[in-house]
């Protein structure tokens, strides 16, 4: 990924970004395929990183999860930036965005781990799921486990890029953030909030 120096993101920020925006696009080649799924970040005690997830067994992409390289793209808030937002003109309109790219080796996990992977993700997004046994009972989890293929990605490279106008003057950055915050569009407001959290 092309990352000009002002937009480069430190590892700790990238890891926090993955936790905050876990929905990713996984791509592999030969043949070129992509799947969109949430991924769980696992930090091992030895310092290695894993991404864990699952796909529907009906999704043929899982046949590529055989030890080949995969690219995972995580995206966060993004928005159009008008050239009118800058103090001095003419200025080129652009698109500001946030993303983290992860590459690594993708591999299917043994079928007996499907249940654990499914429960780990369910516990993350619905920590009170055990209180709803009428829905999330053992029989249901067993059926779910048979309908998925779980996998992990051994991370070999991780790059983060926050293109937020850091190369512009402070006045330009303030004006851009204020315009985004005043917008009626959800993504504009989300980007304004992200900028406020990461540049103050």
What's this model's pTM, rounded to 2 decimal places?
0.92
The overall average pLDDT reported for the chain is 93
Q: What whole-number distance in Å separates Cα of residue 110 and Cα of residue 125? A: 23
Residues 141-163 pLDDT 10s: 899 899 999 999 999 999 999 99
In angstroms, the Cα distances linking 105 to 20, 74, 102, 118, 154 are 23, 17, 10, 21, 5
Q: What is the pLDDT of residues 57-85, one digit of tens each?
A: 999 999 999 999 999 999 999 999 998 88
Residue range(s) defining the domain that contains residue 152: 5-168
Q: Is residue 148 part of a domain?
A: yes
- CATH code at 141? 2.30.110.10
pLDDT category of residue 200 using cuts at 50, 70 and 90 = low
72: in domain: yes
Answer yes or no: is 190 within a domain: no
Is 15 buried (19+), middle (13-18) or exposed (0-12) by CB count in 10 A?
Answer: middle
């Amino acid at each position: 990924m092309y990352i000009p120096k002002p937009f480069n993101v430190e590892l700790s920020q990238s890891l926090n970004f993955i936790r905050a925006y876990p929905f990713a696009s996984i791509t592999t080649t030969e043949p070129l395929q992509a799947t969109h799924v949430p991924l769980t970040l696992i930090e091992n005690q030895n310092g290695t990183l894993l991404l864990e997830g699952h796909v529907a067994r009906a999704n043929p992409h899982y046949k590529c999860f055989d030890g080949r390289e995969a690219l995972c793209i995580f995206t966060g808030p993004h928005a159009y930036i008008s050239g009118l937002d800058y103090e001095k003109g003419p200025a080129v309109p652009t698109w500001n965005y946030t993303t983290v790219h992860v590459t690594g080796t993708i591999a299917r996990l043994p079928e007996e781990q499907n249940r654990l992977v499914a429960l780990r993700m369910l516990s993350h997004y619905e920590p009170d799921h055990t209180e709803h046994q009428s829905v999330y009972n053992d029989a249901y989890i067993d059926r779910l486990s048979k309908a998925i293929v779980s996998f992990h990605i051994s991370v070999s490279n991780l790059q983060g890029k926050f293109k937020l106008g850091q190369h512009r003057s402070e006045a330009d950055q303030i004006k851009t953030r204020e315009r985004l915050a005043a917008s009626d569009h959800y993504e504009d407001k989300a980007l304004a909030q992200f900028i406020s959290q990461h540049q103050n």
